[in-house]
Amino acid sequence: MNVGIMTWFQYHNYGTALQVVALSRKINNFGHDAYVISYITIVNPIIKSDESLTSQVARTFLQRLKNHFYYEYHESKRELRFDQFLTNNLRFTDRCETLGDFEHLNGSLDAFVCGSDQIWSPPNFNPRYFLDFVYDENRMIAYAPSVGILDVSNENIRRRISENISRFKYISTREKAGSDLLSELTGQMIETVLDPTLLLTQDEWHAYESDYDTGSKSYLLAYMLGKREEYWKTVKKIAGYLKLELRIIPCHEKDIKRKGCIKEPIGPADFLKLICNADYICTDSFHGTLFSINYNKPFTVFERFRKNDSLNQNSRIYNILEMLGLEERLYQNKQDNYKTRIDYNGANQKLENARNHSLSFLGKSLASVQSYSEQVHLPGNLFFDNKLCCGCGACEVSCPTDAIHIALDTDGFYTASVNHEKCISCGKCGQVCPYLNIGDIPKIEEGNLFSYKDKEDIVLMHSSSGGAAFKMAAILLNKNYSIAGCTYNKNEHVAQHIVVTPDTKDKLTLLQGSKYIQSKFYDCMRLMKNFKEPIAVFGTPCQIAGVKNIIGKRNDVLLIDLICHGVPSYGSYEKYLQYLSASKGLKIGNDFETIFRFKPSGWRDRYIYSGNSENHIVQHQSKDPYFLMFEHGFCYSKGCYECPWRNKSAADIRLGDYWGDKFISDTTGVSMVCALTEKGWDFVSQIEGMTFENIRDYTTCQQMTNFARPVFWEELVSELNSGSRALEDILEEYVIPFEKRRMFGRVYSKVVKRLRRK
């Protein structure tokens, strides 16, 4: 059985590296094939509900300043030794970045194990580590993930954790405190098991040790992750009393200057060797403590976190010491525990019992999943677990039984749903989905960049940037191409795609300008499937990818996507219209329109126009509630947070604003044009006014990676779509605190720049 392990591995921390190797080893020992899911984590933003914004900002500011002068230690040869250790001892899946990548794993892996380390830590909540991408809950196992802290004060986090844990059939955590906390949240009985590093015996770990030469002198090994300087006096005192040479594994740049610091690069295998040969160990590390115990070394463990720290993670150390009867090894003020010998006989017996219990839990869970997976097969359609959809309609037009339908969902987004009675599990929908079929697609950094600014003022004033899209469309219409693009429908107050033909070219102006709402695209997709004439299609990257999957390669089709940060819920736009009516006195009739980028008022400073020629308002981006909501990106479609097209494109050309310093003094707009295919290059390079630029202007100024979906997304979207509260009140709760934090960040950056000058 192929088993995927979802855990941290990328942090070059000894405990992190060794726990994933240990878990992989034991899964393999049970007769399975373990694969570590290759994922570099994203951390979610959180506002603590029990702390005022003022105190939070002050605490964050002081912590950042402290970190500024207390860098973590990194050295290239050390990093290489970590990478080599992981490569030599683990098998990895293909790299996973978006939810679509993860969902592919359902077809190649039979079971999924999340754990260990603090992957369930509330301050770093990430649903990937709760296996949210696994279709079948019966294939999910939680082995020893750690919560780390004793309480979850943020209600959104509590809710998300509870919802995710409720999907598990086989669940355990690493500490009793964590099991108790999660049992309280979920009402489930949760097992407590050992950290994976303790599943291997001392003899088993010897096989992973390097041949690092620790020398002939007896030594005290210090491995301190914290920043509490007062502990270093005690470490030196212990070394002096025991007449041992002090050796320090550096964790911070400041450690390099300490007497006794090991200057050579230390990888995980060297770490094991140093533990093995040490005569005494001082540590504030959880895994430093575990390996001291497993190797039966005399040791003193310090409390890394102060008791009043809201992110105190000391409970995991308390737990293991209490479990094994080694509580006296915890250093407390003026406690001379280093003078006391450790009788490991009792501790070793307790450890062996706990090891057998933990291995039994892991082995039985894997065996149950194997028995289940041999009997059950998943449905063969895209919507067995429908998490990502941009509403492009590619699945709808490819379905041979008309089982798929696109419509606005309860969250306010155009998405697909399936009639399972009509579905024949042919899988064609999955073959055209833009989230699941990336293929060999050009990366942005491989493209050729141009800048463009139209010479006609009327074009510039009605375009969001430099008028490149309008210019291209006009040229193509004259070449007998039709143009598919987005317009604002004043009657329905929605964005939708229409087709402008050479015979109706006077309608081209309807396509000008940005529409910061999701376009009703699926009607256009139906047209694309059978459209035989030359056509250029403008749309978001996901829409264009869907078109490409439907039409295949055609020389007379030009695909042009737009730089996109995300599409907000229609609920947010409906709330905005209510706000304009109630607060600004605007009449929302069939002559009403929103111009999301009102160029006459500015380009870099963005303005939004709402109303008609007789009664309208224009608001700056910092004052307009819709723009603030859009800029912070808290109510985008779920798929926007998992977009596979940030750094690549299925289009021939990508268009957007030319941000950055190059045109910082420009006030009327410049287009950024990226030619990604030979077809795109041939077309763009022939347009008068295109200026060749450095592609780094794109990669350094545009969004190249996804940001995490906020933990309060469900609550916010629900309020926008069905709640009775006004938009201003919703904004005050969900957005304004982050806007203040962003302003604080700017102040902080200025302070740091000044400090660096000094």
Average pLDDT in the chain: 90
Contact 38, 97 (CB under 8 A): no
CA distance 670 to 99: 34
Cβ proximity of 481 and 475 under 8 Å: no
When pLDDT is cut at 50, 70 and 90, the band that residue 746 belongs to is confident
Provide the pLDDT for residue 206: 98
Q: Are 296 and 348 in contact (CB under 8 A)?
A: yes
Q: What is the CA radius of gyration of the chain?
A: 29
What phi and psi values does residue 565 have, to the nearest 5 degrees? -95, -25
pLDDT confidence of residue 598: 94
- % of the chain beyond a pLDDT of 70: 93
Q: Where are the beta strands (DSSP E) in 249-403?
A: 280-283, 299-301
- Quickly state the pLDDT bin for 73 (edges 50, 70, 90): confident
Instruction: Give the model's pLDDT for residue 312.
Output: 66
Q: What are phi and psi of 646, to 5 degrees?
A: -60, -45
Task: Name 498's bridge partners.
Answer: 485
What pLDDT does residue 184 have? 86
Q: 204-208, 330-334, 452-456, 750-754 — which is least confidently predicted?
A: 750-754
Is 12:94 a contact under the CB 8 Å cutoff? Answer: no
In this prediction, residues 633-661 reach a mean pLDDT of 95
What confidence tens digit (pLDDT) does each residue in 251-310 have? 998 999 999 999 999 999 999 999 999 999 999 999 999 999 999 999 999 998 877 666
What is the pLDDT confidence band of residue 333, given thresholds at 50, 70 and 90?
A: low
**Would you say residue 219 has pLDDT above 60?**
yes
Pairing state between β 482-489 and 535-539: parallel
pLDDT of residue 48: 37
pLDDT for 548 beyond 90 = yes
DSSP labels for 76-137? Answer: HHHHHHHHHHHHHH--EEEEE-SHHHHHHGGGT-SEEEE-SSSTT-GGG--GGGGTTT-S-G
What is the distance between the alpha carbons of residues 349 and 231, in angstroms, rounded to a whole number?
Answer: 31
Q: How many percent of the chain have pLDDT more than 90? A: 73
List the one residue out of 365, 375, 315, 439 whose CA is nearest residue 190.
365
Helix pair angle (713-722, 727-734), 10° resolution: 170
Give residue 59's pLDDT.
Answer: 46
The yes-or-no verdict on residue 384 having pLDDT over 90 is no
DSSP secondary structure letters along 54-79 = HHHHHHHHHHHHHHHTSPBP--HHHH
Look at residue 614 and tell me whether its pLDDT is greater than 90: no
Mean of pLDDT values over 458-469: 95
Q: Is 360 exposed, middle or buried (0-12, 13-18, 19+ CB in 10 A)?
A: exposed
At 424 the pLDDT is 87
Please tell me which residue, 743 or 681, carries the higher pLDDT value.
681
Reference 539, options 415, 639, 651, 680; nearest CA is 651
Give mean pLDDT, residues 232-240.
95
Q: Is the pLDDT assigned to residue 61 strictly greater than 50?
A: no
Q: Return the number of other C-beta atoms located less than 10 Å from residue 741's C-beta.
A: 16
Q: What is the mean pLDDT of residues 333-351?
A: 88
pLDDT at position 64 is 47
The predicted structure's pLDDT at residue 46: 42
Q: How many residues comprise the chain?
A: 758
pLDDT in tens, 95-105: 998 888 898 89
Would you say residue 456 has pLDDT above 70?
yes
Between β-strands 607-611 and 593-595, what pairing exists: parallel, antiparallel or unpaired?
A: antiparallel
d(CA 584, CA 582): 6
Alpha helices in 515-671 (DSSP H): 522-530, 541-551, 570-584, 625-632
Work out the burial of residue 62: count CB atoms within 10 Å of its CB; fewer than 13 is exposed, 13-18 middle, 19 or more buried: exposed
The predicted pLDDT at position 399 comes to 94
Q: Distance between CA 285 and CA 273 in Å, rounded?
A: 17
Q: Say yes or no to pLDDT of 14 above 90.
A: yes
Cα 454 to Cα 220, 461, 510, 686: the distances in Å are 71, 10, 18, 15
Predicted TM-score (pTM) above 0.75: yes
pLDDT at 550 over 70: yes
Identify which of 470, 475, 482 has the alpha carbon closest to the alpha carbon of residue 536: 482
- Residue 634 and residue 710 in contact, taking contact as beta carbons nearer than 8 Å: yes
651: confidence class by pLDDT, cuts 50, 70, 90: very high
